[in-house]
């Protein structure tokens, strides 16, 4: 089922300043950046390390591009900080169904596209002890498995 921590999503007010903090403080470099218009975020993925399953672990820094996005609303309510944790899996479809069968609400009916072509879904934080949880199947990349992106609304389904 789950093979690794794919990434930890961190909501921030200023992506460039937050990237610079992680670069200057810990030496982490940006691996990938993109804007996800559907989710209303601008993001930077900072690669922490490679993993034994061919994937990697990342910090995902998320800056909302609009106040009404899920990350924008979360940031307005909670301030900067950890937004979600994402676990890597070889089969996001199968694993999301298995979790759903155990009574956990899965926020998307079908997985969506995340960063770098990954497939993602989210689990409701009220069913995960207050933690917004993402499941990620990385897109195949030459020699590297990629991270996920985006953040959903946490409206109940």
Q: Catalytic residue at 60?
A: yes
Contacts (Cβ under 8 Å, ≥6 apart) of 5: 57, 85, 86, 87, 88
Distance CA(105)–CA(147), nearest Å, equals 22
Mark whether 39 is an active-site residue: no
Check if 7 is active-site: yes
pLDDT tens string 80-136:
999 999 999 999 999 999 999 999 999 999 999 998 889 999 999 999 999 999 999
Q: Does 63 qualify as catalytic in the annotation?
A: no
Share of the chain above pLDDT 70, in %: 89
pLDDT for position 108: 95
- Distance CA(7)–CA(96), nearest Å, equals 17
- Provide mean pLDDT across the span 7-36: 97
Q: What is the mean pLDDT of residues 44-60?
A: 88
Active-site hit among 39, 60, 63, 83: 60
């Amino acid at each position: 089922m789950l093979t690794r921590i794919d990434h930890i999503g961190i909501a921030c007010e200023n992506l460039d300043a937050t990237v610079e903090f992680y670069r200057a403080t810990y030496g982490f470099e940006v691996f990938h950046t993109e804007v996800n218009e559907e989710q209303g975020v601008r993001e930077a993925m900072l690669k922490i390390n490679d993993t034994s399953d061919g994937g990697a672990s990342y910090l995902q820094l998320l800056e909302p591009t609009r106040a009404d996005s899920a990350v924008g609303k979360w940031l307005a309510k909670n301030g900067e900080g950890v937004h979600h944790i994402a676990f890597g899996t070889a089969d996001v479809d199968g694993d999301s169904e298995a979790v759903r069968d155990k009574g956990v609400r899965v926020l998307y009916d079908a997985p969506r596209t995340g960063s770098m072509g990954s497939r993602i879904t989210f689990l409701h934080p009220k069913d995960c002890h207050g933690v917004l949880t993402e499941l990620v199947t990385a897109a195949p990349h030459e020699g590297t498995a990629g991270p996920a992106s985006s953040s959903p609304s946490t409206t109940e389904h």
